Chain A
Amino acid sequence: MRVACLWFDKPAPTNVLAELFLRFSPQIAVIEDKAIFVEIGKCKNLYSEKSFYARAHILLKRTGHSARITFGNDVTDSLVFAKYKTNLFDQIPLTALVDLVDPFSRDLVLKKSVFKIIDTFQDLGVSNLGAFKKLPVGDLIARFGVVGRFVHGRAHLNDFLSWPQFAPAEIIQEKKDFPYFEFYGELDPILFELKSQLDRIFARLFARKKRLIKLQVQIRCEKLSVHPDFIRKLDFEFFAPQSSVKGTLRILKERLSREFEKKPVLSPIEGIKTIVLKAVDFEGGQKNIFNEDEEKSEQLASIHNQLVEMLGKENVYQVELTQDRRPEKSWRKKFDTPHMKSAAPNDFTDLLPDRLTYICRYPLKVDVAAGFIYIQKKRYKILNWDNEIERIAGAWFEKPSGEIKNTYDRIYSLVEIEKHQKLSIFQTPNREFYIHSYSG
């Protein structure tokens, strides 16, 4: 067994930080606010101690923490090496016996007994572990009983200590309070803070082999009577699972800028909290170096998200064809899955006459007389009129018994006017003419 110990001189959120090391090994233990242990012996074919050291330093640097990293054959020796800043086991002070016997502080009675042993031997001039190890075990048993036997075993790193289970937090959230720093909804400081929160969140998600799909950002302002919306909760649901800060932050920026335009922040911001509401599994491992389809698809989903934030969901879409023959109903909007292939191919398009490229929002009534067509009171000469290229009628079945209002009966003609402008004009049973589409 090889164990890496990360010892924090200043108190650190070890439970949160330990999650980041799940990428190295699932066997992790934590001493609250003080130390993280990672079993790295079983992964020696994946990375060396040297590379672990380098990567761990970078990870800690990103989170703004620093730790002393040491390696040992057990939790206890790696811990004492880190805590007492030496790799010479025998030179370590006798007080380290407490860490060797009960590193996770699980048995307070045992700990008290060990302190008594330490005091006794320090009085006798035994000041370090090297000297203690030389004492015969029989004498220790005679003087201190079973505790003496156990302490001797631990000093010789003989007995195995079970690792306490490490369970990562169920809810991934990051927050920061601004007790003194006052700002009134300027976007930049908020984005700056959100970036660092997202950095940490994505690192935690990566370690759990997950990707972000739903996120909530809470902005808490100072409570004032003139400011009813002092807590803002913004929910984000992404079209594709997110794995990068850059794309996600852009989406957040769009929403926040719109939010602050609509509802300005009227009191100082006190805190920002980001909570992961939903994450999905992904297959970790080596990235495909021969294509970037996955990255591209994530970028497309990200820009789709940004556009939706900016313009509204109904204004950003793709289309799919329908079976309806009416030109205005021949397609429908598709709001999700940007640039994904449709399941059912539409192969009926060849059966229909060629449609012109533009459809009018509303059919435009025109007059036709003596070789001319009058469009918005302007007269155009008709060069060619292809009669009855298509007849579209239907909808009578929608109200079979009542008054039939929704029926339609259109006779389409393809008309060419001056400058070879092509128009698709339909005639109603009342002999009225409407332009429905045109080339342009």
Chain B
Amino acid sequence: MNKAAVLSELRQKTGSKLLQNREMWKAPQLESGVARGIVTELLGNARIDWLISLFKMNPDTLIFWCKSDAQASPLALKQRGIDLERIKFIDAVSDLQQPLRMALESQLYPFIVAPNRFDEVRIFQRFHLLAEKSKSTLFLLGQKDFSLAWPIALQLEINNTDVETEFDIYIHKQKHGVNE
């Protein structure tokens, strides 16, 4: 086993052992929930629907939503039961790091959503530390494949199924709250 693989395995182990007692957000069709204060990456064609359900299950929390090219439809959010006053939208065309860092540091937004435009581990590491401190969960919306960055604690691929209200959830990585 090479050094990188050993390190990766150790990180997985320490992560799951040390942080099993984390506070969790209730999440749809994810029994263990989503840990607070982590970086999460989401893929799939139903991830936003799943995310909206998660926001609905955890009301009275503010949401910081960084937009990419496409706009999440506010009407769709409202129709799915999300109070639009909870959401602050950010159009960050170039550098997303600064607004995200600011939102995490403020400790006012328990949910932060942003497109995953990052590839340096250093950046994820910074987000991970800030998220841990603020107990906010950062949801990064991935492009095609999951990122290999180790600070991402939860990676989910969520797709639609035949049944309208159900999601097909594939857990690619889950460091915290794994159901034993």
Contact = CB atoms under 8 A, between A and B. Distances in A.
Interface in A181-210: none
Contact of A315 (B45, B71, B90): B90
A317 B89 contact: yes
A224 B62 CA distance: 49
Interface stretch (B13-21, B98-106, B116-124): B98-106
Interface in A227-282: none
Contacts of A321: 74-75, 78, 84
Interface stretch (A71-79, A114-122, A298-306): A298-306
B135 to A, nearest CB: 15
Nearest to B89: A317
Given A303-B108, A340-B85, A420-B160, A316 B90 contact: yes
B69 A319 contact: no
A310 B89 contact: no
Interface string A329-360: 01101000011111000100110101111111
Interface in B155-170: 159-162
Contacts of A299: 106, 108
Contacts, number: 125
Contacts of A327: 73, 75
Interface residues of A, number: 46
A431 interface: no
Contact of A304 (B69, B75, B88): B88
Nearest to A337: B85
A141 to B, nearest CB: 74
Nearest to A302: B106
A422 interface: yes
A314 interface: yes
Given A311-B91, A419-B45, A440-B70, 13 more contacts: A296-B108, A303-B108, A318-B88, A318-B89, A321-B78, A349-B79, A355-B79, A357-B49, A357-B73, A358-B72, A361-B70, A421-B160, A440-B48
Interface of A: 296, 299-300, 303-304, 306-307, 310-311, 314-321, 327, 330-331, 333, 338-342, 346, 349-350, 352, 354-361, 419-422, 437-440
Interface of B: 45-49, 52, 62, 69-79, 84-93, 98-99, 102-103, 106, 108, 159-162
9 contacts: A307-B102, A320-B84, A327-B73, A341-B85, A354-B79, A356-B76, A420-B160, A439-B48, A439-B160
